[in-house]
Amino acid sequence: MKKALLTLLLLALAILTGCEEADSTESESSDAVSDSGPLVKRNTSTEVWAVENAWADRDTPSAKKAGVAWAENSGLSWEEKYTRWIETMETMPASGGWGTTITLTTPYGDKKLPGPTLECAEVAMMMRATFASWYKLPFYLRGWDAATRKSMFAGHFGFVNSNGDPVSPFPHFRDQYKDFEKSWKPGDAWPSDAKLRAKHLGGDDTVEFLKDATGEELGAGAYFDEIYLNKRTGHFMRLLLLYFGSVNLADGSNMFHLAPEATRAGDVLLERWQKKGIGHTIPVIRVTKPLEGKLAIEVATGSMPRRQPRYEDALSARRYFTMEETGGEGTASDGNEFAKLGGGIRRWRTPINKNGRWSNDVSADSKPSYISDSDTAAIAARPARFDEILVTGSPEETKAALVSVINNARQHLVEHPASCSARSNREKAFEDLYAIADKLGTTKTALDEELRVEADYSFAPLVYEESKTCCWNSTTPAMAEIVLDFARVEREEAEAAGECREPTVFKSRTDGYKLWADHAKAMGREADWLAWSEDEPCAQKDVAEDTADELDATAFCSLP
């Protein structure tokens, strides 16, 4: 019964997660330097962790201790320590042998894990909430309860309303789950919570390096069980990531706009090109200054379907910061100005106890670089400013970085052929490649002749809000093989007839996916073809046929 109630509330709240964007007008966003939260209530039954420190602390006994990325008596604030922790994230090969991910260093001895399998906004939220939990710092996000049409807050106090009272049917974390932080010491066996370990965020959150006794891969719950001694945090984290998403990060109540020059590890770049629908969240993990007045910014991003955070170096990541979709000049296709959609570089607000009520503030050291939500001119100017201050490589180095992005997107499609974000990312990288064609001494057509593959046409981009395929996160590598084999058969039949035909785009047609289901049956792989499922809230699930987006590429039949 509890599970059914929770499922119903998930739907009722209508808060889209991860790389999805909902209508931010629903969230009572704030444009003030300080944003009011719930009443301060301590030792409640819903509490996830008790707040013992403040983000601005430098000289308290707790602040003077050595930590995961700083020495004893460092003199750093917890905000500065958060940046240091993010910077400790080393790179390593991602699961599956393709691409590079990050490692997560914990404060528990030498315990270090590869990155979790998450959507893009989930990566950013998990990083901030995890650090706050480990070091007993205040953390909360303001959200919107569509059922009561009132604000809802999720944080160290659990899920509460503006009075600080519990929101049903969320757990009473303190009473229901255990905290082993005071009883565990290095050398002890790691305590486990069997219920947490069995939980998932969805069918796409499996963690390759964590398995149960039968060898079955486990998911997000098991990952949280491995990094939190306080199991309450693990149960809370799962619900936080299910209920909150990138729309909440674009809300001025939770994060604020930032001047480009102030960017540091732990900040988050939001890409938004429409008020509703798909977007992208890009956590910053390292910022260096290789030259006077120049920045090199490295990032690690999740995706939809979920994946380990993919590391991108400064040259690969540069394109994100200079796009109009990250809050720049111009107007989106839905008629809204990009600068009003919440995109661009943002920093976490800092919770403080202000007159008995939690308040999400802009920290004192960030106020000089704070940009108001209403200052659209300053917001829109940032991509151009990033273009000036971000390091650049030679045309050949830039090409190599963009080709890496293209190949990463292609690999994601081989694993999840319905992924609309991977299709879009691939094409945006091609657009950037076309833009430097003259510097490379070549042309767009020549680049396509060199780099385009048949799969780019089979997995052509789709219009997200008009394509049910984009909601289908559970597609598999076996299904990708079937789609690509169908394209091969199409091509060979055309060649036998002395013709060339454009590959059929993998999308829902008037008869759904019958074309590929029939081909799977003909291959003797009928069991490998899965039925469409609504793996995320899908307003477009009843469309008669998906809508293909423009593919700005040389026509397939014009290629050699």
Question: CA–CA distance from 432 to each of 90, 279, 317, 401, 428 (Å)?
Answer: 28, 19, 12, 11, 6
pLDDT at 326 over 60: yes
SS3 at position 74: coil
pLDDT digits (tens, 9 = 90+) for 171-199: 999 999 999 999 999 999 999 999 999 99
Lowest mean pLDDT among 73-77, 223-227, 390-394, 535-539: 535-539
- Helices (DSSP H) in 75-171: which residue ranges? 78-87, 120-134
| Beta carbons within 10 angstroms of residue 34's beta carbon | 13
Is 97 a residue whose pLDDT tops 80? no
Q: Tell me what the mean pLDDT of segment 372-392 comes to.
A: 96
pLDDT of amino acid 99: 86
The pLDDT of residue 20 is above 50: no
- Percentage of the chain lying above the pLDDT 70 cut: 94
pLDDT band at 299 (very low <50, low <70, confident <90, very high): very high
φ and ψ at residue 206, rounded to 5 degrees = -60, 145
Give residue 33's pLDDT: 80
The residue-averaged pLDDT of 262-270 equals 98
Q: What is the mean pLDDT of residues 536-553?
A: 91
Query: Does the pLDDT of residue 1 top 50, yes or no?
Result: no
Residue 461 has what pLDDT?
A: 96
* 462 pLDDT above the threshold of 70: yes
Mean pLDDT of 451-457: 97
Query: What confidence score (pLDDT) does residue 215 get?
Result: 86
Contact 115, 101 (CB under 8 A): yes
382 pLDDT tier (thresholds 50, 70, 90): very high
Residue 62 CB: number of other CB atoms within 10 A?
13
Q: Is the pLDDT of residue 5 over 90?
A: no
pLDDT recorded at residue 203 = 86
Q: Three-class SS string for 417-471? A: CCCHHHHHHHHHHHHHHHHCCCCCCCCHHHHHHHHCCHHHHHCCCECHHHCHHHH
What is the pLDDT, as a whole number, of residue 278? Answer: 66
Separation CA 152–CA 144 (nearest Å) = 5
Averaged pLDDT for residues 51-67: 97
pLDDT of residue 421: 87
Weakest mean pLDDT among 95-104, 109-118, 348-357:
95-104
Q: Are 246 and 120 in contact (CB under 8 A)?
A: yes
- Report the C-alpha gap between 308 and 206 in whole angstroms: 10
> What percentage of the chain's residues is helix, strand, coil (to nearest 5)?
35, 20, 45
The answer to whether residue 367 scores a pLDDT higher than 80 is yes
Of the pLDDT bands very low, low, confident and very high (cuts 50, 70, 90), residue 212 is confident
Q: Let me know: does 140 contact 154? Beta carbons within 8 Å.
A: yes
pLDDT of residue 6: 38
Residues 417-442: what's their mean pLDDT?
94
Kindly state the average pLDDT of the residues 379-399: 96
The rounded distance, in Å, linking the Cα atoms of 130 and 227 is: 9
Strand-strand pairing, 370-371 and 255-258: antiparallel
Run of H or E including 93: strand 91-93
Mean pLDDT across 21-44: 68
Q: Tell me: pLDDT of 507 over 60.
A: yes
3-class SS at 221?
Answer: helix
SS3 523: coil
Mean pLDDT of all residues in 323-351: 93
d(CA 393, CA 397): 5
pLDDT score for 309: 96
pLDDT at 146: 78
Query: How many other CB atoms are found less than 10 A from the CB of residue 360?
Result: 29
- Confidence (pLDDT) at 351: 97
Average pLDDT, the chain: 91
Dihedral of CA atoms 9, 142, 203, 95 in degrees, nearest 10, equals -170
Within a 13 Å sphere around the CA of 409, how many CA atoms are in the beta-carbon half?
Answer: 25
What average pLDDT does the segment 280-288 reach? 96
- Quick one: pLDDT at residue 30? 56
pLDDT, average across residues 28-45: 82
Q: What is the pTM of this model?
A: 0.86
Q: What are the structure tokens assigned to 391, written together?
A: 């390091």
As beta bridge partners, residue 283 has 268
